[in-house]
Amino acid sequence: MKKIFISAGEVSGDWHAASLVRAIRKTIPDVEFWGIGREKLRESGVKLVAYMGEYDIVGIDGILKKTPYFYSLTKKIISRALGTSLAIFVDYPGYNILLARYFNNMGIKNIYYIAPQVWGWWQFRAKLVARYIDTALVIYPFEVDFWKRFGMNAVYVGNPVYDAIFQGHIEPIHPLPEGKKIIGLLPGSRYSEVKRVLPYMLRIKKLIEKKYKDVHFLLSLVPENIEVQKEENLEIIRGEGKRVMKSSDVLIVSSGTATLEGALLEKPMVVLYALSPLSYFLGRMVKRVEYLSLVNIVAGRELVKEFIQDIDVYKVAEEVEHLLFDKDRISEIKQGFLEIKSKLSGNASFNAASFIKRRFFNGKDD
């Protein structure tokens, strides 16, 4: 029986990790998974050492506040690592890079699936990743050359977000009020992220509905410990971000994977981003890309507007108006979304599983 460790801390990573687990099971017989993650990994049959739903990390201060917990968790994981054939790390660089070091020191081979986006912010981390990781299975074609600069093997396996959009059926929200423009609010999945961004979104909502009566808002709310007051013009949906996007004419979305999902669904959007003051200050010092949203990074230009940190809600509301009614602006953005779609490909989980089998369980190298 082959024993594989897998680590995914965030909601999106949990989804992608679970998909990879299912693909590996189809490809490699007699495999046992253990690790850390959330509900989707648990449902896929992974034996979880820890459930990560309460331990979101955003920014350097998020890591510092939870240091005692992660120190204890690391000791628990290492004590159970004996006999593990392979460790797979999925995103979540704030903890996974540290964990990869311990596995590497134990002589266990490490794979990074959905490698950390250090090309955007903390490039010094790239040297650490290259030191501890055997191969990065990346989900954007341009990442291959980036990792090769640090002497690490990198393979583009396709994009799991692309798969999530085009390989499954996304059911729209229904019923929806007829004759109204639908605006989707997606403040993110992490508790700390939502607490910072959601108040801006609700203020923007007030500005828009004060001017336009024929609008209706859908709010995708992931953290269960955040409550929002019910309003006649606001439909609160627990999770179901893709369904909210599918049902909306325009999105107001927190920077992250959701921006790429919205682009692949061809939904005009504005992107909001807010960190704690300390994390934002440090982030500005190490920022290495011109844009923050995946949409603009993959497009290579400012395709959608980004509003960062001290968000001007009046300017956001003005941009949302353009995206609702300016046909030329809408057409320009949707053309850019088609270009993004052409740069990506699918079957990420299958391709990643096939590589893992060839590299680590067939005695063959790539």
Question: For the chain, which domains are there?
Answer: 2-166+346-361 (3.40.50.2000), 181-343 (3.40.50.2000)
CA count, 13 A, side-chain hemisphere, 228: 25
Cα separation, 347 vs 7, in Å, equals 21
For residues 12 and 49, the answer to whether their CB atoms sit within 8 Å is no
Q: Write out the two tokens for 105.
A: 């020191």
Phi, psi (deg, nearest 5) at residue 201: -60, -40
Nearest Cα residue to 287 out of 299, 297, 298, 302 = 297
pLDDT of residue 182: 98
pLDDT of residue 288: 52
Cα separation, 167 vs 345, in Å, equals 11
pLDDT of residue 192: 82
pTM for the whole thing?
Answer: 0.86
Amino acid at 266: E
Q: Is 155 left (phi over 0), alpha (psi -120 to 50) or beta?
A: beta
Residues 6+ positions from 6 with CB-CB distance below 8 Å: 17, 20, 21, 33, 34, 35, 37, 41, 46, 87, 88, 89, 90
pLDDT of residue 52: 87
Cα separation, 29 vs 18, in Å, equals 17
Cα separation, 320 vs 325, in Å, equals 9
For residues 329 and 336, the answer to whether their CB atoms sit within 8 Å is no
Q: Going residue by residue through the chain (366 aa), what tens digit of pLDDT does each one get?
A: 899 999 998 888 999 999 999 999 999 989 999 999 999 999 999 999 999 876 655 545 555 667 788 889 999 999 999 999 999 999 888 889 999 999 999 999 999 999 888 765 556 778 888 999 999 999 999 999 999 999 999 999 999 999 999 988 899 999 999 999 999 999 998 888 899 999 999 999 999 999 998 999 999 998 888 888 888 899 999 989 999 999 999 999 998 889 999 999 999 999 998 875 555 444 453 455 578 889 999 999 999 999 987 899 999 999 999 999 999 999 999 999 999 999 999 999 999 999 999 999 885 444
Secondary structure of the chain as H, E, C letters:
CEEEEEEECCHHHHHHHHHHHHHHHHHCCCEEEEEEECHHHHHCCCEEEEECCCCCCCCHHHHHHCHHHHHHHHHHHHHCCCCCCEEEEECCHHHHHHHHHHHHHCCCEEEEECCCCCCCCCCHHHHHHHHHCCEEEECCCCHHHHHHCCCCEEEECCCHHHHHHHCCCCCCCCCCCCCCEEEEEECCCCHHHHHHHHHHHHHHHHHHHHHCCCEEEEEEECCCCCCCCCECCEEEEECCHHHHHHHCCEEEEECCHHHHHHHHCCCCEEEEECCCHHHHHHHHHHCCCCCCCHHHHHHCCCCCEEEECCCCHHHHHHHHHHHHHCHHHHHHHHHHHHHHHHHCCCCHHHHHHHHHHHHHHCCCCC
pLDDT of residue 365: 45
